[in-house]
């Protein structure tokens, strides 16, 4: 049978000291709803104890004496006020215990959405694991907009504004799927102002090409071929890595990329130098399905970053990225007088504003301009020969 006692430090200490090992409940006579449960180990814990809809509701308030009697009474008054206003704090606590954490939501997003619709999902996963580890075990409702604003700002300082924007964009996409797992809260990423991004305009300048070319010549043949094809086709690095022989028509000098960033097939003109490289590669490894085979998990070359680092370090071009090779072809096309639609068609660009224009273009003007631009690149890459002055006879 439950006891009713005026809770004082002395009365509770007396109850604990006289404990006979049996579990019992003691109610405070001063504050209705406040109880203390004494368990077999002699541990006394405060609870709010209230009957609601014919069922007892218990909310743990803390252990005596770490939690004082005054603190327990104040918490009891607070929770009773919530009950009076129509809230059920006990039920809310139970929901919180079973609420999903961000890691659960991210795994759901990866399996049910990203793997089906985003070819970049491995990069998304690596980015989440690297930058969001401190948020992974957090309950969804505990992640606030203000906290993510601070997280975004700190990431901008430590990893750069572009990466901070990409991580915030990823989190926003993940939270957009929260309703799938039963979370009805808001997306805390909404209305957080992104950092302003300046578009990169770096490309190989005419006076840099000889040094780049000379440095490239020190690499293995497969690395030389890989980076030359990236440069001379303007294709994305990932597309060249996954280049298949079945998609290449050397007779017509056409490469069909079946899967692109925009999920649409793209036809790429192959300049004469690229056709020459591909003929040689086919003679050497035509038995493989890949133009650039590798022993890795994918079956093709996957991470040429180490080779790229060596190339640009030798050439003294530390600020150059692999993607800048794609921008190099586009820039040389424009320098050579190619129209913007031709540049877009050559690089496989698509946009709502220009898609109709690109669709009307045939490959003919692209072939002409790409051949002209790649010829200019190859010419500029060759070292200039110094001419000797002729002596004038006196």
pTM exceeds cut of 0.95: no
Domain that includes residue 88, residue range:
3-98
**Rounded distance between C-alpha atoms, residue 80 and residue 205, angstroms:** 74
Q: Which of 125, 314, 132, 303 is nearest to 213 (CA)?
A: 314
Cis upstream peptide for 65 (omega within 30°): yes
| Same domain for 168 and 71 | no
- Domain finish residue from 98, 120, 138: 98
| Tokens (6 digits) for 273 | 């130098």
Beta bridge partners of 255: 248, 268
Residue pair 264/242 in contact (Cβ under 8 Å)? The answer is no
Q: What is the DSSP letter of 142?
A: G
**Rounded distance between C-alpha atoms, residue 92 and residue 232, angstroms:** 61
**23 domain residue, yes or no:** yes
| Same domain for 147 and 230 | no
| Same domain for 80 and 129 | no
**305 domain residue, yes or no:** yes
| Same domain for 320 and 235 | yes
- Domain finish residue from 71, 98, 125: 98
**69 domain residue, yes or no:** yes
**36 domain residue, yes or no:** yes
- What CATH number is attached to the domain comprising 46? 3.30.160.390
| Same domain for 133 and 10 | no
**119 domain residue, yes or no:** yes
| Same domain for 89 and 221 | no
| Same domain for 39 and 171 | no
| Same domain for 336 and 310 | yes
| Same domain for 124 and 79 | no
- Domain finish residue from 79, 98, 117: 98
In the chain, the number of structural domains is 3
| Same domain for 169 and 67 | no
**Rounded distance between C-alpha atoms, residue 154 and residue 174, angstroms:** 20
| Tokens (6 digits) for 149 | 């604003």
| Same domain for 80 and 55 | yes
**248 domain residue, yes or no:** yes
**190 domain residue, yes or no:** no
Q: How does pLDDT run along the chain (394 residues), one tens digit per residue? A: 578 889 999 999 888 888 777 888 889 999 998 999 888 778 899 998 887 766 777 888 888 989 999 999 998 898 888 877 777 766 666 555 557 899 999 999 999 999 888 878 888 999 999 999 999 999 888 999 999 999 999 999 999 998 999 999 999 999 999 988 888 889 999 999 999 877 667 888 888 989 999 999 999 999 999 999 999 998 888 899 999 999 999 999 999 988 776 667 888 899 999 999 999 999 988 789 999 998 877 889 888 989 999 999 999 997 899 988 888 887 777 777 777 777 777 777 665 444 343 344 456 667 888 888 888 888 888 876 555 555 555 5
Q: What is the DSSP letter of 111?
A: I
**122 domain residue, yes or no:** yes
- What CATH number is attached to the domain comprising 352? 1.10.443.10
| Same domain for 281 and 374 | yes
């Amino acid at each position: 049978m439950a006891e009713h006692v005026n809770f004082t430090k002395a009365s509770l200490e007396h109850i604990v000291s006289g404990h006979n090992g049996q579990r019992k409940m003691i109610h405070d006579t001063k504050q209705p709803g406040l109880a203390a449960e004494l368990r077999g180990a002699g541990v006394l814990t405060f609870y709010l104890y209230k009957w609601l809809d014919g069922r007892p509701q218990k909310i743990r308030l803390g252990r005596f004496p770490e939690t004082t009697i005054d603190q327990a009474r104040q918490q009891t008054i607070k929770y009773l006020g919530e009950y009076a206003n129509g809230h059920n704090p006990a039920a809310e606590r139970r929901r919180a215990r079973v609420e999903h954490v961000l890691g659960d939501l991210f795994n759901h997003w990866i399996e049910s959405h990203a793997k089906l619709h985003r070819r970049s999902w491995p990069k998304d996963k690596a980015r989440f694991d690297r930058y969001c580890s401190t948020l992974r075990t957090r309950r969804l409702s505990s992640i606030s907009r203000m906290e993510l604003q601070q997280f975004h700002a700190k990431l901008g300082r430590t990893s750069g504004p572009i990466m901070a924007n990409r991580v915030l964009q990823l989190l926003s996409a993940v939270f957009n799927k929260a309703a799938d797992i039963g979370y009805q809260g808001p997306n805390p990423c909404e209305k957080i102002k992104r950092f302003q991004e300046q578009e990169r305009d770096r490309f190989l300048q005419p006076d840099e090409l000889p040094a780049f070319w000379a440095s490239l010549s020190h690499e293995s043949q497969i690395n030389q071929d890989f980076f030359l094809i990236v440069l001379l086709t303007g294709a994305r690095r990932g597309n060249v890595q996954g280049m298949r022989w079945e998609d290449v028509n050397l007779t017509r000098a056409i490469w069909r990329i079946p899967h692109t960033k925009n999920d649409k097939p793209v036809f790429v003109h192959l300049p004469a130098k690229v056709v020459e490289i591909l003929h040689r590669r086919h003679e050497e490894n035509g038995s493989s399905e890949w133009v650039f085979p590798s022993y890795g998990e994918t079956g093709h070359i996957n991470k040429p970053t180490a080779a790229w680092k060596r190339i640009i370090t030798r050439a003294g071009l530390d600020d150059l990225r692999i993607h800048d090779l794609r921008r190099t072809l586009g820039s040389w096309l424009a320098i050579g007088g190619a129209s913007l639609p031709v540049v877009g068609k050559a690089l496989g660009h698509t946009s709502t504003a220009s898609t109709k224009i690109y669709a009307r273009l045939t490959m003919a003007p692209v072939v002409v301009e790409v051949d002209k631009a790649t010829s200019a690149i190859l010419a500029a890459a060759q070292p200039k020969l110094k001419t000797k002055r002729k002596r004038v006879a006196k």
